Amino acid sequence: MPRLSDPLQVKGLRLRNRLVMAPMVTGFAEDHRASPRQAAWYADHARAGAGMIIVESCAIVPDALLLPRLLGIWEDAQIPGLARIADAIRAEGIPAILQIVHGGARSWREDLSLERVGPSPVPLMPGPAPRAMTEADIEAAIAAFARAARRAVEAGFDGVELHGAHYYLISEFLSPYTNRRTDCWGGDREGRSRMGREVVRAVRREVGAGFPLLCRMHAVEFVEGGMSSEDSVYFAGVLEKEGVDLIDASGIGTSSQGNWEGRTFLNTSSVLPKGDNAGAFAPFTGKIRNAVHVPVIAVGKMGKPGLAQDVLDQGQADLIALARQLIADPQAIRKILDGREEEIERCQECNLCFSSIRQGALRCGVNHSLEEESFETERSPR
Ligand SMILES: Cc1cc2nc3c(=O)[nH]c(=O)nc-3n(C[C@H](O)[C@H](O)[C@H](O)COP(=O)(O)O)c2cc1C
C-alpha cells in the first residue's frame, strides 16, 4: 500500500505525495476577482508541499454564486487574477486545479426573495422554492461550464475540477431528494446522471483530450431520501467512462430541516458532525475506488493523527484531502510529511471558517494570523 509521501501520476501531472489541499472558499476575492491576498494565501499553502492544490469554487455565471465573496469565471476579465493564483502554486512545482461551480438551488442571494433555479422546486435555502429549470436553462448551464473550463485553461491551471457535490447544481440533478423530474433529466440513475455526463462531455470538448479533468461528487449522502451509495458508484463509473481523470469523493455529513417564513427547507453540510466521526465518508469512498480505475480522493477530518495513512492502507483512496485543518495550520502538510504531526495546531471544529465566509473573509478560531491580516486589509486602502 502507498505511503502518504509516495508520488502519484495523474494523466500528465506528477503529484509529489498523496496529500491534497481541498477546495475552500476564502472570501478573499474582491468583486469576484482574485485579490493579491488570495494569491499569497495559495503561495503560502504551496510552500507547505501538498501533492496538489484544488483552488476554491469559482462561479460559472454571476447568478450562481455560492457566497457573497466568491471568485467568478464568467468573463475573460477574471482570467488575469486567476492566473496569479495558478502561478503562485505552480511556482512551487505543485499542480494547481481550479474548481468550477453552479450554485443551483443553493445559490447565494442577498435578497432572499430572489429566484434560484434547480432541477425541481425543492427548497435548500431560506427563500422561495427554486424554479425548475427548463431545457434551455439546462443547456445554458452546460455551455457555461464549458466556457468557464476554457478560461481556467487560459489562466494556466493544470486541471479543472467540476463541483458535482454539496447539493449545488450538478449534485442536485444526481440526488433523488432534489431531482423529482420525470423528463430525460430525471427519473432513474441514468436520467439523474445526464446533467453531470453532459457537463463532462461539453467541458472535455472545450479543454481537449489531454487536459486533466476532475470531478467532486458524493461518496455518500447522510440524508434521508438522498443519493444511495449504489447511485454514487454508478455515477463514478459514468464519470470514468466519459474520461474524468480523478474522482474527488466528498459527502453530505449532516442535514437538518430549516424553516423560512413557515416553510421548511433541507439544510445540508459537507462536514461531518463534531465528535468522533473522522473518516466516516471513507468506507463509501472505498466502494467507489473498488469500482473504477482512476485515482480517488478521500476527505472528512483526515487530519486526525494516523487516519490518512490508515485510509490508504485500507485501499479506500489513492489521495487524501485536508480542509479545515489547513486553515488552522497552513503548515500541517509539511509537518505530516516531516513526521512532526505532534507539532500541528489542531483544528477545533468550531466552524468559524464556515460562518465567516458567509459574510466576508475567512477567519479561524485557531489561526489568529488570519484575523490580523483581515484587519490590515480592512484598514488599507483598496
Ligand atoms: C471554509 C470552507 C470553505 C469550503 N469551500 C469549499 C469549496 O469551495 N468547494 C468544495 O467542494 N468544498 C468546500 N469546502 C468543503 C471542504 O473542501 C471539505 O470537503 C470539508 O470541509 C470536509 O473536510 P474537513 O473535515 O477536512 O474540513 C469548504 C470547507 C470550508 C471549511
CA of 378 to the centre of ligand 1 (A): 25
Residue closest by Cα to atom 10 of ligand 1:
23
CA of 195 to the centre of ligand 1 (A): 23
Residue 372 has a pLDDT of 65
Ligand 1 in reach of 56 Cβ (< 6 A): yes
CA of 22 to the centre of ligand 1 (A): 6
Residue 373 has a pLDDT of 61
**Which residue of 45, 65, 271, 358 sits with most ligand 1 atoms within 8 Å of its CB, as the best mutation to test the pocket?**
271
Strand 263-269 and strand 254-260: the pairing is antiparallel
Alpha helices in the chain (DSSP H): 36-47, 79-90, 135-154, 169-174, 189-207, 229-241, 282-291, 307-313, 324-328, 332-337, 352-359, 369-379
Ligand 1 in reach of 22 Cβ (< 6 A): yes
**Which residue of 21, 324, 325, 356 sits with most ligand 1 atoms within 8 Å of its CB, as the best mutation to test the pocket?**
324
Ligand 1 in reach of 298 Cβ (< 6 A): no
Distances (CA, A) of 140 to 77, 133, 380: 20, 10, 40
Residue 371 has a pLDDT of 85
Q: Give every CB contact of residue 330 below 8 A, 6+ residues apart in sequence.
A: 44, 45, 48, 367
Closest CA to 25 of 75, 60, 72, 71: 71
Residue closest by Cα to atom 20 of ligand 1:
271
Q: What would the grid cell of residue 51 be?
A: 501533492
Domain 8-379 class in CATH: alpha beta
CA of 135 to the centre of ligand 1 (A): 31
Closest CA to 162 of 310, 298, 281, 57: 57
Residue 381 has a pLDDT of 37
CA of 268 to the centre of ligand 1 (A): 13
CA of 15 to the centre of ligand 1 (A): 21
Ligand 1 in reach of 106 Cβ (< 6 A): no
CA of 312 to the centre of ligand 1 (A): 21
Ligand 1 in reach of 57 Cβ (< 6 A): yes
**Which residue of 19, 25, 311 sits with most ligand 1 atoms within 8 Å of its CB, as the best mutation to test the pocket?**
25
Residue closest by Cα to atom 3 of ligand 1:
24
Q: How far apart are CA 261 and CA 33, in angstroms?
A: 34
Query: Do 171 and 218 touch, CB atoms closer than 8 A?
Result: yes
Residue 360 has a pLDDT of 94
Residue closest by Cα to atom 29 of ligand 1:
24
Ligand 1 atom nearest residue 322's Cα: 26
Ligand 1 atom nearest residue 66's Cα: 8
Residue 276 has a pLDDT of 79
Residues of the chain with pLDDT under 70: 372-382
Q: Determine if the pTM surpasses 0.75.
A: yes
CA of 250 to the centre of ligand 1 (A): 9
Ligand 1 in reach of 356 Cβ (< 6 A): no
Domain ranges of the chain: 8-379
Ligand 1 in reach of 317 Cβ (< 6 A): no
